[in-house]
Amino acid sequence: MSSRRSSFRRREKPAFERFKDHCRHFTAFMFSNVGIILLVTFYTIGGAFVFQAIEIFENEKLKIIKPHRFIERNFSGDCLNRIWELTAENISFFDRHAYRKRYVNDVLLEYQRAVVKKQLRGPDVDHQWSFSGAFLYSLTVITTIGYGNITPTSDWGKLVTILYAIIGMPLFLLYLSNIGDVLAKSFKWIYSKVCLCRICPGVAKRRIIRERRKLRQLARALQMHQMENARGGSSSSYTSNSHSTSNSSNSSSSSDYTKSSLQTSSVLDVPYTDSDSDIEREIRGSTDEITVPLTVCVFVMVSYILSGAILFGRWEDWNYLDGSYFCFISLSSIGFGDLVPGDRVITADKDKVEVSFILCAVYLLLGMALIAMCFNLMQEQVIHNMRAIKRGFKACFRCRSS
């Protein structure tokens, strides 16, 4: 983008340099945390306008070419008239059975089919492709939700959708990773400050000391266990000898070693000094080291979905189950489209944008980032746990084998 722009201004050097710098800053900003939000938003809005224009234009063209498709037939009037004719015809000699079975039922069936067909075809293009509808459409494309309540009907619309998705989806993924990361960091920070009570140093210090003591005990127990195992298992007579040599030779640092081997299993980095500076450093240390427990992540996700359920439930008259179902299906990007934000969100009015519509879009955008964040946080935990399980399994396996 900037390169193209900069090529226009190759002549005036200082101005060009300045311009280039500006461009750089601008692009860097666009890919930064704040910028990516703007980028996604503008991309979606632009997509909305493009799709709206294409679909409406194509629809107009189609109207001119094939006008017969757009004649509104009054199905119910037709049906009524036919039934009346039938009744009037058969009123004199009533064959009740035949009347019911054959004639009226057939007419009604026809009517029913017509209604179904009309319903399944969806609302007309003008109604569908209002600005909010188009915005929601482009949002569902780049987030890969794909409700399918609004779909392009024209060929150009389909082609543009493909291109739009090719560019938009990586952009949205970038957005997700960026925002998810930021959210994860801030969530970790909040968690560490609030839940682990790192704000008040006394509590945190006591907690850390307690934890360390526990870990050390555990490690010591493990070490004892190991030693016993090793001693018991070894049949060679060199054991004591080599131990003594190693001890004597490494007298300065053997303590280090024992410490290191003390820390078996997951008890890896427990510093063995209870010095204040150490603890303070840990308290003040980076929040990267903190793992947020699974339950908190799950709680955040569930509460987000439930709040969405309440929000949408008020707009759409869905019950809580339907609301949370809708939120889940949307946020997991499955997007069935059986429940879609309705008239309150997608206004038929072309230029009107309602608050609920904005809220819906924000809910989706934020929700996906939040889900991403939660998965980001959960992954660490899960993998950690899995590794522990695997390790345990392996140790078990090895013990048995040897």
Partner 1 sequence: MSSRRAQSLPAHMLEPAKPQRGRCVAAICFSWKVLTCIVSHVLLVLLVVSYCVGGAYLFQHLERPHEIEVKRDIQNLRFNLTERIWLLSDDAAVLRENDWMANVSKHLANFEKQILTAIKADGWDGDEDVRKSQWTFAGSLFYSIIVITTIGYGHISPRTDWGKVTTIFYAIVGIPLMLLCLSNIGDVMATSFRFLYWRICCYVCTRSANRSKSRRSRQRSMRMRPQRVTSRSQPPPSFRRSMKMTQRSNNDSGLGPSMGHAYSDPELRYGRGYNDRDRDRDFGGGYRGSGGRQRRHQQPHQSQIYTQPLQHEPRQRHTIYGDEYETHNLNRASRYSSRQRQRDRMRDRHTVERERYLGHSRTHMHAGSIDDFSDMQPPAKRAASVRSVRSPQPQPQPQSQQQETRASRELHRLHSAPGRAKSVDPRHAHNSSHYEDVDEDVVRKTPIIPNRYALDDDDLPHRGQQARNAPRSQSMPRSAHRRRQREMERERSPQPAHHHQKQQQRPNGRRAGSLGRQSSRYGNHLEPPDYDAAPQRHRRGRSPRYHDDYVEESFDEQSLYDDNELYEDYPVRHSSRSREPRRERRRERRLPPSPRIMSPMGFPVQRQIRRRSSYDYDDEDSMYGDDYGDRFELVPKDRPVPIWLCVFLVVSYILGGAALFAFWEEWSFLDSAYFCFITLTTIGFGDFVPAKGVKDESEQSIAYCSLYLLFGIALLAMSFNLVQEEFIANVKEVARRLGILKDDEDEQQEAD
Count the Cβ atoms, other than its own, within 10 Å of residue 388.
12
Secondary structure (3-state) at 233: helix
> Among 148, 216, 294, 344, which residue sits at the site for partner 1 (rule: CB under 8 A)?
148
Give CA–CA dist 169/156, Å, rounded: 19
Closest CB to partner 1 among residues 336, 353: 336
Find out whether 369 and 331 touch, Cβ atoms under 8 Å: no
Q: Which of residues 229-258 bind partner 1 (CB under 8 A)?
A: 229-230, 233-236, 238-239, 241-243, 245-246, 248-251, 253-254, 256-257
Choice from 185, 193, 205, 207 touching partner 1 (CB under 8 A)? 185
User: Applying CB under 8 A, does 27 fall inside the site for partner 1?
Assistant: yes
Comparison of 351 and 381: residue with beta carbon closer to partner 1: 381
Start-to-end CA distance of the chain, whole Å, equals 64
Taking CB under 8 A as the criterion, the residue among 123, 146, 201, 293 binding partner 1 is: 146
Q: Which of 53, 98, 105, 224 binds partner 1 (CB under 8 A)?
A: 105
Residue from the set 288, 295, 351, 355 that interacts with partner 1 by CB under 8 A: 288
Residue 339 per-residue DSSP state: S
Three-state DSSP string of 242-299:
HHHHHHHHCCCCHHHHHHHHHCCCCCCCCCCCCCHHHHHHHHHCCHHHCCCCHHHHHH
CB of 151 to partner 1, least distance (A): 4
Q: Does 395 bind partner 1 (CB under 8 A)?
A: yes
* 92 contributes a contact to partner 1 by CB under 8 A: no
Contact residue for partner 1 among 41, 144, 307, 381 (CB under 8 A): 144
> Per CB under 8 A, which region of 11-19, 198-206, 283-291, 350-358 contacts partner 1?
283-291
Of 72, 102, 99, the residue nearest 110 (C-alpha): 102
**Residue 316 and residue 234 in contact, taking contact as beta carbons nearer than 8 Å:** no
Which residues are within 8 A (CB) of 386 and not within 5 positions of it... i.e. 6 or more apart? none
Residues 31-90 that bind partner 1 (CB under 8 A): 31-32, 76, 79-80, 83-84, 87-88
Closest CB to partner 1 among residues 251, 295: 251
> Which of 127, 325, 354, 366 is in the footprint of partner 1 by CB under 8 A?
325
Q: Counting beta carbons within 10 angstroms of the beta carbon of residue 202, is it exposed (0 to 12), middle (13 to 18) or buried (19 or more)? A: exposed
> Minimum distance from CB of 44 to partner 1 (Å)?
14
CA distance 32 to 178: 8
Candidates 65-73, 189-197, 200-208, 279-287; binding stretch for partner 1 (CB under 8 A): 279-287
Exposed, middle or buried: residue 337 (CB in 10 Å: 0-12, 13-18, 19+)?
middle
54, 145, 215, 279: residue in contact with partner 1 (rule CB under 8 A) = 145
Within residues 342-381, the interface with partner 1 by CB under 8 A covers 368, 371-373, 375-376, 379-380
Closest approach, Cβ 134 to partner 1, in A, equals: 14
**Burial call 283-303: b when 16+ CB within 10 Å, e when fewer:** beeebeebebeeebbeebbee
Neighbours of 235 (CB within 10 A): 6
Candidates 5, 117, 210, 352; binder of partner 1 (CB under 8 A) is 117
**Among the listed residues 42, 70, 94, 299, the single contact to partner 1 using CB under 8 A:** 94
Instruction: Give the torsion sign (CA, 365, 366, 371, 375).
Output: positive
Q: Which of residues 150-179 bind partner 1 (CB under 8 A)?
A: 151, 155, 158-159, 161-162, 165, 169, 173-174, 176-178
